[in-house]
């Protein structure tokens, strides 16, 4: 049998020495193409590939990198500012807008809501040791007296500790003029500067002269969450802010509503809360990176009340931002329901606990998949 040579011409076509069927030829080409595409990129990144597969120790270089001293000084100035100021602030969140007349003096803050119409006339008062919110429509005054660690002194220490331990990364990222004032922009990032993935971050526009907070932005994994900024402001004696502004007379006639009544107990762990509740609270087995349980509040309800009058609030924080889970037994005549408002910052659903179904309310700004992971891991 005559063996064909490579150069042999059959009907105008040159045939290779090893003839391959058309289908197999296609497969060979595909395999070659796959190799061409994958091998170079694999080779380029081989070192990183191995690195990504193995758990890595913390980046010691990053850990040793100092915080931005200018940013730390500005945060210090903002937290300790004592100046008197007055102006108008605009707040945007979730496509909604609010306007407030704001007054500040020696760490005290008063906001008179102008917009939206339903909030017009409401007043929020924040001082070192308490929070008050006057609902004009109902003439109700919400009051929260801070436990010592939650008052402003305690918060300053908490923030200073978090900055020192680098749980909050601070950085000055620019300067801008806000409402006619020179502001430095300081960015705070929770969960550490060098953690994986996108984190929550806040930006503060701080008046360089007085430390007054002229604006702030909170961003989450999905982008901007909220923004507040002064549109006009007067700082100093010309602001005409008096200590009396923080004890307005109209609060005297309001019906008070203690948000954290004396019988409410603040605890550190869910285990401590269990014996105090007539139901078994649930806690998430999975938390987003950087978050940890910050506090547990138990609200036992009035004596001899039904179990559903009791509730528990779990607050998780990663330094810059936090989310809250609020649990109480489902009402006996209530209808069961699935998750409502999935993807929103406020969600409610029912979950089974060993003591029966619970109504769970989530309030926070986690990414939808993170919020879902929290919900699905409740045990």
Partner 1 sequence: MYHTDTNDNRECAQMRLLLSDYLDDTLSARQVWNVEKHLAACAECAALCRRMQATVRLLQAAPRFDTSDNFMAKLHARLDSVEPERPLSRSRLTALRDGWAALVETLRQRPAPALSLGFALTALVALLLLPHGGAVKPSDLPLPPSRPTSAPVPIAAESLRRSVALAAANPLDDPAAANLEAHAALEDAAAVNTDAAPN
Residue with smaller CB distance to partner 1, 6 or 27: 27
The tokens for 305 are: 């009340």
Q: Which residue pairs, CB below 8 angstroms and at least 24 apart, start in 370-374?
A: 370/221, 370/288, 371/323, 371/342, 371/343, 371/347, 372/342, 373/284, 373/286, 373/288, 374/284, 374/286, 374/287, 374/288, 374/323, 374/325
Judged by CB under 8 A, the number of residues near partner 1 is 98
CB within 8 Å of 242: residues ≥ 6 apart: 105
Pairing of strands 255-258, 140-145: parallel
Q: From the list 4, 8, 25, 42, which residue makes contact with partner 1 (rule: CB under 8 A)?
A: 42
Give the DSSP letter of residue 283: -
CB within 8 Å of 226: residues ≥ 6 apart: 91, 92, 93, 94, 217, 218
Report the site for partner 1 in 70-89 (rule: CB under 8 A).
72, 76, 78-80, 82, 89
Residue with smaller CB distance to partner 1, 63 or 272: 63
* 41 touching partner 1, by CB under 8 A: yes
* 224 touching partner 1, by CB under 8 A: no
Contact of 286 with 378, CB cutoff 8 Å: no
Residue with smaller CB distance to partner 1, 27 or 271: 27
Residue with smaller CB distance to partner 1, 4 or 96: 96
* 234 touching partner 1, by CB under 8 A: no
Select from 87, 80, 78, 129 the least CA-distant residue to 110: 87
Q: From the list 126, 183, 270, 282, which residue makes contact with partner 1 (rule: CB under 8 A)?
A: 126
Residue with smaller CB distance to partner 1, 11 or 338: 338
Report the site for partner 1 in 310-369 (rule: CB under 8 A).
311, 313, 315, 320-322, 324, 326, 328, 331, 334-335, 339-348, 359, 361, 363
Residue with smaller CB distance to partner 1, 8 or 37: 37
Select from 327, 295, 287, 325 the least CA-distant residue to 311: 327
Residue with smaller CB distance to partner 1, 184 or 188: 188
* 46 touching partner 1, by CB under 8 A: yes
Q: How far is the CB of 5 from partner 1 (least distance, A)?
A: 31
Largest CA distance in the chain: 116
Tell me the residue length of the chain: 379
* 152 touching partner 1, by CB under 8 A: yes
Residue with smaller CB distance to partner 1, 120 or 280: 120
Report the site for partner 1 in 173-212 (rule: CB under 8 A).
188, 202
* 105 touching partner 1, by CB under 8 A: no
* 44 touching partner 1, by CB under 8 A: yes
Report the site for partner 1 in 266-295 (rule: CB under 8 A).
none
* 299 touching partner 1, by CB under 8 A: yes
* 66 touching partner 1, by CB under 8 A: yes
Select from 311, 265, 274, 267 the least CA-distant residue to 293: 267
């Amino acid at each position: 049998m005559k063996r064909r040579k490579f150069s042999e011409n059959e009907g105008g076509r040159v045939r290779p020495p090893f003839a391959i069927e058309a289908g197999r030829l296609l497969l060979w080409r595909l395999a070659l193409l796959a190799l061409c595409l994958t091998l170079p990129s694999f080779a380029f990144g081989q070192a990183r590939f191995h690195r990504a597969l193995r758990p890595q120790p913390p980046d010691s270089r990053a850990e040793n990198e100092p915080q931005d001293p200018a940013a730390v000084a500005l945060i210090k100035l903002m937290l300790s500012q004592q100046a008197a100021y007055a102006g108008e602030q605009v707040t945007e969140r979730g496509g909604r807008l609010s306007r407030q007349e704001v007054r500040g003096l020696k760490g005290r803050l008063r906001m008179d809501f102008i917009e939206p119409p339903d909030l017009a006339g409401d007043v929020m008062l924040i001082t070192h040791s308490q929070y008050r919110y006057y609902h004009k429509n109902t003439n109700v005054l919400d009051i929260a007296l801070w436990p010592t660690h939650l008052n402003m002194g305690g918060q300053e220490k908490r923030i200073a500790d978090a900055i020192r331990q680098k749980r909050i990364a601070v950085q000055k990222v620019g300067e801008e003029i806000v409402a006619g004032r020179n502001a430095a922009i300081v960015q705070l990032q929770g969960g550490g500067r060098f953690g994986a993935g996108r984190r929550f971050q806040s930006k503060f526009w701080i008046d360089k002269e007085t430390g007054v907070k002229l604006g702030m932005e909170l961003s989450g994994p999905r982008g901007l969450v909220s923004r507040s900024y002064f549109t006009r402001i007067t700082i100093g004696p010309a602001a005409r802010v008096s200590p009396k502004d923080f004890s307005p007379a109209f609060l005297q006639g309001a019906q008070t509503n203690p948000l954290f009544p004396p019988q409410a107990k603040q605890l550190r762990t869910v285990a401590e809360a269990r014996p105090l509740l007539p139901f078994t609270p649930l806690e998430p087995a999975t938390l987003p990176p950087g978050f940890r349980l910050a506090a547990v509040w138990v609200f036992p309800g009035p004596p001899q009340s039904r179990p559903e009058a009791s509730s528990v609030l779990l607050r998780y924080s990663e330094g810059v931002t936090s989310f809250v889970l609020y649990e109480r037994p489902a009402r006996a005549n209530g209808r069961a329901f699935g998750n409502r408002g999935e993807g929103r910052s406020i969600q409610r659903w029912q979950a089974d606990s060993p003591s029966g179904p619970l109504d769970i309310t989530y309030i926070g700004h986690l990414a939808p998949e993170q919020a879902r992971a929290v919900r699905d891991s409740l045990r």
